[in-house]
Amino acid sequence: MKKILLFLCIFCYCGSLAAQRVEPFKGKNGKYGLVKIRDDDDRFVERKVIVKPKFDSIVCYWTTNIIKVKRNDKWGFIDTNDKKITPIKYDLCRVFSDGFAAVKLNGKWGYVDTNGKEKILLGNYDDIGLHFRQIVNDEVFYWYSPEWELSQIFIGNLIIAKLNGKYGLIDTNENIVVPYKYDGIELGVDYIPVWIGDKYWQEKQEEDEEFIPAKWGIINKKGEEFLQVIYDYIDTDRDSIFIVELDGKQGIIDFNGKEVATLKWDECHPLYLNKTKTNVKLNEKYGLVENYTEKEILPIKYDAIRQTSKEHLFWVKLNGKFGLIDTAENIIIPFKYTDIRLYSNGYSISDTFKVELGDKWGMIDIDEREIIPIKYDFIAYRWMGSALVLSVSLDEKYGIIDRAGKEITPIKYDKEVPFYGENYAIVEINEKYGIVDTAGNEILPVKYDDCRPINENLTLVELDEERFLVKNNTQENILPIKCKKLSYVLDTNKFVITCDRERFFIDKTSYEIIASTTLNDYQYTILAMLSDYIYGTHHIFSDDCIAVKINSKWEIVNNMQEKIASCKYKKRITCENCATIIYEHEKVAAKKTKKGYKCYVQKSGWGSQKNKKIVKKNKK
């Protein structure tokens, strides 16, 4: 029997389905260039050289066409068409942000715009702007997201500058607007956090190192100190307000500098629906106060407070139980629930609440009408097709109910019913599987050892170590034979089903067999080696192909398991516009030409570990 070592997807063409990106690659001359990658669902599709290997280093970004390049220890910028944006003359370059990138030339900092226009500052600054990045390989690195490297040069019309280890702000004529006194500045737009001291002083404290705890403040884009640098912490992730902390106490200040809540609370939680009130904590108890006046709306005596969609109604916890009260402390729903969960669709809070009584869950409305009986062990919102439903469990069995409590599926399955937004779901009882639709009908009985839906009407099933292709509603086996091994490929208007050595072509609408053929020995051997292809794996039916190593030789086969090219061994591969994979100590490269496929193999010594990192994700 032929010895099978590996199959790897190395080249395919999927038309408009393929996504595009650019990546660095290392050429045979040891220099770096750029390739454009076309892929679909992480499968390697096409690799085309767009910038020849001529740089010592390249840093590129997924969402921009501006590329940072290095040559002869100097940096510059090009675009993905190899058009020069700046000369390659800088000692250092930063990523573009808001149309500008910081550069360093002959020891002086400056900046360039996206057209390459340059301004070099005269002062001997340590740095200009803010710059954050993950660890970068000095020679080459591919950024998956530009957010991994962030830069900001300007705050309004002012330049962030660093001198003698301290940050300040200067204007474009290098006049000092804010003195150099800050140890750090964070990214911001209208209001920018600044600090003096050790930002990470807790880490130094753990290591018994000397430290000065950071104090925080806020400056505006005019460079004015909006909040003094006196606070231990400032929360800036809020609309129109800052939550400040000093000496273990919290308060709130709005964007006009007015005090929303005085600096005396253990915690402050502004309500995100009713923005006129704040949930405050003092001495382990919660209450509700009016913003600015701090007039007490609910006394500070509760264990928890949760808002509802009604401005005057709140769920509160007292003595370990939740109840619903109004702002006059009238009890709307008695204190009897162990837990209460609010439902939000991302935009608003519903008037329906998930409640726990004892160890059972149900749902009630704001008038305590029982929407869902409080009898379930588990309740969770799930999408079933386009409908929002409830997944529930009772006595260790699972099912689906609608939001009125009506059963959609019986509560009899061993695991949660996973629609995942589709119109059908696989269900399980005693390690047997079937399929239910959105009406709760078992369109495929729960009797199979395994099942893999192709669509709403067809499923690959296994029963007693035999496999079938069945219509869901009738359980009719479409194929004239039973199979030990079963796989399928989806074409534009037909399914290609392989049952052991027989291949059937089935109309996608009528599900009738329109043609059949028998695999030859070569096809069967190739199909047998693809263990994850044997059953239920979907492959695009197009010019898809794979590289296989069989009898110690590499060959290219299409998705009908037909050999279309033999790979030739070469001392060094010079094929730049090739799809490439790495297996052990061999590099395999292939490309499609007008005359057919060409494939080359290069043994060990082809490249360094850095090359392997670049092409590793092209393996399948």
pTM of the predicted protein model: 0.68
Mean pLDDT, residues 434-462: 90
Dump pLDDT digits (tens) for 269-314.
999 878 899 999 999 999 999 999 999 999 999 999 998 888 899 9
Check pLDDT > 50 for residue 198.
Answer: yes
Q: What is the largest CA-CA distance in the chain?
A: 86
**Is residue 449 predicted with pLDDT exceeding 90?**
yes
Q: What is the arithmetic mean of pLDDT over 557-577?
A: 80
Task: Compute the distance between CA of residue 140 and CA of residue 143 in angstroms, rounded to an integer.
Answer: 10
Query: Does the pLDDT of residue 353 top 80, yes or no?
Result: yes
Per-residue tokens: 316: 């509160």
Q: Rg of the Cα trace of the chain?
A: 33
- Own/partner pairs, 117-123, CB within 8 angstroms, 24+ separation: 118/86, 119/172, 121/159, 121/161, 121/174, 122/174, 123/161, 123/163, 123/170, 123/174
**Any idea which residue has 């039973």 for tokens?**
482
Instruction: Name, in order, each residue with C-beta under 8 angstroms of 109's C-beta and a sequence gap of 6 or more.
Output: 102, 103, 120, 121, 125, 127, 128, 161
- pLDDT band at residue 535 using 50, 70 and 90 as cut-offs: very low
The beta strand positions in 472-544, using DSSP E, are 486-490, 494-499, 502-507, 513-518
- Look at 47-51, 322-326, 520-524, 609-613 and tell me which has the smallest mean pLDDT: 609-613
What is the per-residue pLDDT for 344? 56
Q: Which pLDDT score is estimated for 13? A: 29
Which residues fall within 8 angstroms of residue 526, CB to CB, at 6 or more apart? 7, 548, 550, 557, 561
For 99, left (φ over 0), alpha (ψ -120 to 50), or beta?
left
Beta carbons of 95 and 150 less than 8 angstroms apart? yes
Over residues 346-363, the mean pLDDT reads 81
Q: Are 29 and 572 in contact (CB under 8 A)?
A: no
Stated as kind and residue range, the H or E segment containing 610 is: helix 609-616
Confidence at residue 357, expressed as pLDDT on a 0 to 100 scale: 96
Q: How many residues does the chain have?
A: 620
